[in-house]
Amino acid sequence: MKRLLFLPLLLAVFSSFSQILQPPAPDKIYGDLFIEVQMQKIFPDGKTFVDCIPKRKPADIMYDYGLQKGPNFNLKKFVEDNFEIPQPVTANYKSDTSQDVVTHIKNLWAVLKRNPDKEVEGSSLLPLPYPYIVPGGRFREVYYWDSYFTMLGLKESGEVDMIQNMIRNFAYLIENYGHIPNGNRTYYLGRSQPPFFSCMVELLAGIKGDSIYQTFLPDMEKEYAFWMDGADKVKPGQAFRRIVRLKDGTLLNRYWDDSVVPRQESYREDFLTAEKSGRNKVEMYENLRACAESGMDFSSRWFADNKNITSVQITDMLPVDLNCLLYHLEWTIAKGRMINGDLAGAAIFSKKAKLRGEQIDKYFWNKKMSFYTDYNFKTGVQRNNITPAGLYPFCFIKEHPDYLSFLGRKVAAVLKAKLLKDGGFATTEYPTGEQWDAPNGWAPLEWMMIWGLDRCGQKNLAATAAKRWIRLNTRVYKKTGKLMEKYNVADITREAGGGEYSGQDGFGWTNGVLLKLISIYGKSN
């Protein structure tokens, strides 16, 4: 009996030890200095300080901070004296708008490229061993789900080595941290992002052959274990990390973050949002962080009242897009095992994928809305929000194609009525002022909707949306010399706005999706 009691204790100690081995985030390294810089808004963007590189040992900086702080202390000068302040990625790049947009993007890859990193004490950057492409602007590191859409364009540009290097970097992150973090920063280690790794592997395998599935099979399996952690012990009606077991025993996934403090890169914003909400602060931080893992930070999709961030409830929801991506991961693992000759292992994961496909139809197809929507597992009610996530089943589901084609006609009618605008698809119906809401459109979601529509037979609507998006992107480029992170698809004379930071240019996934769409639908008139 004593040995049995000792085992959970040993596992808990091992788990804690594993966490200790993770490099500390800036709030842990710089303590009160971090809090003061963020809360006093020394920089307009909270991400600036957490990306700063110390000019000397952090311990020496903190020692001097302790000695100098007082009534006449100049905090901004202290930071500027002791840290290298990062600049936007494309700060010194001048576009030549006489070039067509395709040439511009192909030239821009070199600007967005980063060579293998060197470790710097006190820096938040997680060094990567291979070259990679960053999004641009304030985003000076690699991002998980961004990179799949960037790779679509890299493929069109013939940059196959870069695709492989980026996938190797993600494999390195899985092997060293147990998952792919939001980005290669210490302050992102508590969460991942929509799991597109298996899609990246499939993309590269389509170029280099099936051996790619074998090469990255162990990494896909390890990522799967991360998302499914707790599946063997969570009871019906309960949730643990990213796992939810419904009362009938069905096992599905949600977005989550393992930290319970304000996001370090948005510390002040999260602190004030939690204060304003009047809700339990830990609960609010869990929800705000989980939104960041979803990639859609922030959106009415996650708000109970469809209006206010203070009503955010994402940790109560089963998202349709996440479960479709895990369905794809299960099928891809099955394929990798099959190629390895592991027929029994392939059968196990094929069965998992088929079961999840059935559950996606059962819990996410909303008959009332004629659309796939998220499911609130706390209330047992489907959401009525129409979002791009409703097209993910059409991108990935392998079973019953005739049925999906039938549903596609219904979904197309809903999209035309609710989300289709002059510049493409809006992200939601609701203009809340949040960046992942109307009137904004985003390249990754445009691609998923266009891809899903094309795959379920709605090719005319797919082409219409694609051509509108290409035209909008090209117009803004000709006007500004920039490709933007997001666009206003309702008023195509403007760019876009909303959210906790200003619009960014560069821009990795916009470049990738635009090149891919142009290769299919041609340049705009």
Residue 454 appears among annotated catalytic residues: no
Residue 297 appears among annotated catalytic residues: yes
Q: Please say whether the beta carbons of 315 and 287 come within 8 A.
A: yes
The whole-model pTM stands at 0.95
Burial of 448 (0-12, 13-18, 19+ CB in 10 A): buried
DSSP letter (8 states) at residue 251: E
* Alpha helix segments (H runs only) across 52-159: 58-68, 75-82, 101-112, 144-156
DSSP letter (8 states) at residue 234: P
Beta carbons within 8 Å of 362's beta carbon, 6+ residues apart = 250
Q: What pLDDT, on the 0 to 100 scale, is given for residue 525?
A: 65
Spot the catalytic one: 485, 495, 500, 505.
485
Sign of CA dihedral 121, 122, 123, 127: positive
Q: What is the residue-level pLDDT of the chain in tens, covering all 525 positions?
A: 333 333 333 433 334 334 337 899 999 999 999 999 999 999 999 999 999 999 999 999 999 999 999 999 999 999 999 999 999 887 778 888 899 999 999 999 999 999 999 999 999 999 999 999 999 999 999 999 999 999 999 999 999 999 999 999 999 999 999 999 999 999 999 999 999 999 999 999 999 999 999 999 999 999 999 999 999 999 999 999 999 999 999 999 999 999 999 999 999 999 999 999 999 999 999 999 999 999 999 999 999 999 999 999 999 999 999 999 999 999 999 999 999 999 999 999 999 999 999 999 999 999 999 999 999 999 999 999 999 999 999 999 988 888 888 999 999 999 999 999 999 999 999 999 999 999 999 999 999 999 999 999 999 999 999 999 999 999 999 999 999 999 999 999 988 877 777 777 789 999 999 999 999 999 976
Spot the catalytic one: 117, 297, 316, 454.
297
Q: Please say whether the beta carbons of 410 and 386 come within 8 A.
A: no
Interior/surface letters 34-72, b for 16+ CB within 10 angstroms, e for the rest: bebbbeeebbebbbbbbbbebeeebeebbeebeeeeeee
Distance CA 357, CA 341 (A): 24
Distance CA 516, CA 150 (A): 10
Residue recorded with tokens 């109307």: 438
Distance CA 518, CA 100 (A): 12
Q: What pLDDT, on the 0 to 100 scale, is given for residue 510?
A: 97
